[in-house]
Amino acid sequence: DIQMTQSPSSLSASVGDRVTITCRASRNIGSYLNWYQHRLGKAPRLLIYGASSLLSGVPSRFSGSGSGTDFTLTITSLQPEDFATYYCQQTYSPPRTFGPGTKLEIK
Amino acid sequence: EVQLVESGGGLVQPGGSLRLSCAASGFTFRSYWMSWVRQAPGKGLEWVANIKQDGSEKYYVESVKGRFTISRDNENSLYLQMNSLRAEDTAIYFCARDRKVLNYFHMDVWGQGTPVTVSS
């Protein structure tokens, strides 16, 4: 199975900050990488697919980059509703493993 | 409105069984792969299983192979039959629509989840 890691595991930031979350795959997954946002008690929300494609309706302050084994999610100008946990997920091969998550908290 | 609504969760004893359902509306259900994802208390998201549009392909995470079965009726319902349940299966179970753009699968519509508790 492909293992996914994320760093940092948690992050404190302020409204208006720019933050970057890193995801690494245990082997080359091309661009088969998605990013999700999950707030407690809510359904997870897809943000980015194919490593860098923004889902329609997702604010442009979210962006994704990378390919192969190393990927990043960047959020510019943090908004109050962005404080949540973020997960990467590979869809290169089953099982479609998620990373362990990065919890973004308000400083 | 595109919507997924899970049901069937509850409290079950270790070794017991439970069948989760997911009712889809607002889109052509038979055109999409579908997935189950879970989140155990205090843990992250874990992909559990998915199924092709016609049910001809199914994939599972190793920890549920031989115990869980994903199925669909191709009208508008997805199912997860869970047998030989263990305490570590305790989680909120989400169903999700698997959209494919070019070759990139992604879960773009999610239900609110149904809780499963395995305890004596």
Cβ–Cβ of A101/B110 closer than 8 Å? no
Q: Across the A/B interface, how many CB contacts are shorter than 8 Å? A: 70
Share of chain A above pLDDT 70, in %: 100
Query: pLDDT at position A15, please?
Result: 96
- Token digits of residue B91: 């989680």
Apex B92 CA angle, B91 and B97, nearest 5: 130
Of the candidates B25, B26, B46, the residue with the CA atom closest to the CA atom of residue B37: B46
Q: What is the pLDDT of residues B54-90, one digit of tens each?
A: 999 999 999 999 999 999 997 899 999 999 999 999 9
Q: How far apart are CA B83 and CA B70, in angstroms?
A: 12
- Cross-chain CB nearest to B101 (options A45, A49, A100): A49
- Cross-chain CB nearest to A44 (options B62, B94, B105): B94
Chain B partners within 8 Å of A45 (Cβ): 110
- Cross-chain CB nearest to A95 (options B61, B107, B110): B61
Query: pLDDT at position B74, please?
Result: 73
Q: What is the pLDDT of residues A57-106, one digit of tens each?
A: 999 999 999 999 999 999 999 999 999 999 999 999 999 999 999 999 98
Q: Report residue B34's pLDDT band, with 50, 70 and 90 as the boundaries.
A: very high
Report, as an integer, the average pLDDT of B28-53: 97
Instruction: Using DSSP, state whether B15 is helix, strand or coil.
Output: coil
- C-alpha R_g of chain B: 14
- Exposure string for A22-57, b = 16+ CB within 10 A, e = fewer: bbbbeeebbbbbbbbbbeeeebbbbbbbbbbbbbee
Helix, strand, coil shares of chain A as percentages rounded to 5? Answer: 5, 50, 50
Q: How far apart are CA B56 and CA A42, in angstroms?
A: 31
Please give the mean pLDDT across all residues of chain A: 97
Query: Does pLDDT of A48 surpass 80?
Result: yes
Share of chain B above pLDDT 90, in %: 97
Query: pLDDT at position A95, please?
Result: 95
